[in-house]
Amino acid sequence: NAGVTQTPKFQVLKTGQSMTLQCAQDMNHNSMYWYRQDPGMGLRLIYYSASEGTTDKGEVPNGYNVSRLNKREFSLRLESAAPSQTSVYFCASRGSPGTGELFFGEGSRLTVL
Amino acid sequence: QKEVEQNSGPLSVPEGAIASLNCTYSDRGSQSFFWYRQYSGKSPELIMSIYSNGDKEDGRFTAQLNKASQYVSLLIRDSQPSDSATYLCAVYNAGNMLTFGGGTRLMVKP
């Protein structure tokens, strides 16, 4: 059982380049999330999708776009990367609405030069 | 003011002692509270959830919630070196977003 799978695990970009982080879950969860984690900042929500076909902004959405491709997949796109987007990105999924447990992927470490 | 506040630490305790981790939150409408543990270089994992005032115990872990004071804590009894990690407090707000605190780094010394 793979759980939540993120790709790539590591990426180095130059300022202005674009890229997409992919996330897929095999737990049949409705809700999916993208967080970024910076030292001392905890996890900050970028975007989330409560169900297939819906997406909503979180705390720090600027500079990002998302696509909920189907129930399994939720991608995060950086259209024009900036050094401030250097971070570790976590995708997560959540089971039934009554539980708060998030299941996280292993993270994607992104460096923007 | 951040919605969920934690002391960043590090909190250092000797092996076998009780570690006490604290968290305050700003949204009075919050109903669900969680503690996640994150080892260095790894993803967070859920260790405790609490929804009503009082204490909830699970093995060596006890979560405490006081909604009137907007305060949630985690006690770890008989702390072990393997408990050394960053502990993240998380709260669902009225908008149904799970917001995390900055985390407290715990170090348990043998």
What letters, b where the CB count within 10 A reaches 16 and e where it falls short, cover A44-75? bbbbbbbeeeebeebebbeebebebeebbbbb
Q: Which residues contact A46 (CB under 8 A, 6 or more apart)?
A: A34, A35, A36, A58, A59, A60, A61, A64, A66, A76, A89
From chain A residues 9-38, the ones with a CB under 8 A of any chain B CB are 33, 35
Q: What is the pLDDT of residue A42?
A: 84
A78 pLDDT band, cuts 50/70/90, is very high
Residues of A in contact with B97 (CB under 8 A): 45, 48, 58-59
Residues A9-39: pLDDT tens digits? Answer: 999 999 999 999 999 999 999 999 999 999 8
B34 — contact with chain A (CB < 8 Å)? Answer: yes
Question: Token pair of A69, please?
Answer: 């491709």
Q: What is the pLDDT of residue B95?
A: 65
Whether pLDDT at A1 is above 80: no
B92 pLDDT band, cuts 50/70/90, is confident
CB contact under 8 A, B44 and A42: no
Taking each continuous run of H as one helix and of E as one strand, the counts in chain A are 0, 11
Residues B59-78: pLDDT tens digits? Answer: 999 999 999 999 999 999 99
Whether pLDDT at A2 is above 90: no
From chain B residues 57-96, the ones with a CB under 8 A of any chain A CB are 88, 90, 92, 96
Question: Token pair of A49, please?
Answer: 């999708």
Residues of B in contact with A44 (CB under 8 A): 100
Structural contact between residues B91 and B38, judged by C-beta atoms closer than 8 angstroms: no
Residues B2-59: pLDDT tens digits? Answer: 689 999 889 999 999 999 999 999 988 888 999 999 999 999 999 999 999 999 999 9
CB contact under 8 A, A40 and B8: yes
Task: Classify residue B29 as exposed, middle or buried by CB count within 10 Å of its CB (0-12, 13-18, 19+).
Answer: exposed
Specify the DSSP class assigned to residue B18. P
Residue type at A42? G
